[in-house]
Chains A and B, each alone.
Chain A
Amino acid sequence: DAGITQSPRHKVTETGTPVTLRCHQTENHRYMYWYRQDPGHGLRLIHYSYGVKDTDKGEVSDGYSVSRSKTEDFLLTLESATSSQTSVYFCAISESRERNRGGYGYTFGSGTRLTVV
């Protein structure tokens, strides 16, 4: 299995506080993604990165920012957490556009369960 770890695994935070989730990979993969999973919505893309310092928005990016200063780390920050951001967050990686397009898809981390109270 690809080396991808997410931290923390669980977090409870208060409304209005900033929160940063970390995704760390040891596979040297170029592409990294942040998804959130919610009942009735499946997995929705928040932000993605196609290289160091190269990031772009996904479908549900409002209220989130990302940074990728090293190949191995992709950080997701909730600027000011709201209850609607209570969710399970998954990081994913993929090796190359060709392998991704070749149907290999992504490798996902184990997720971070975030509760905003």
Chain B
Amino acid sequence: GAGVSQSPSNKVTEKGKDVELRCDPISGHTALYWYRQSLGQGLEFLIYFQGNSAPDKSGLPSDRFSAERTGGSVSTLTIQRTQQEDSAVYLCASSPQLRTEAFFGQGTRLTVV
């Protein structure tokens, strides 16, 4: 079956522009995570959605970052006024329920020039 799909695969943007990253989770998965990974580093938690509950936004690094999940399915991560330090791979994952195995997409590599 289809896995977690992220688009675009790569994105190069100019400093100061807004970007929108998309994640299509596995159908039926109620939990959805966004992580950020800088080159050679671990995964930095950004935000978590679970069903219809309010998302946990505690990992968002600044108010330039926001995310939404429409209809409990597709999620978009928006970064406004991008900065060079936003350059990283943004990974999305979904899981069927709390605390179970997470299925990752291939990520979006964002480069801010």
A, B in one complex: no
Residues of A at the B interface (CB closer than 8 Å) are none
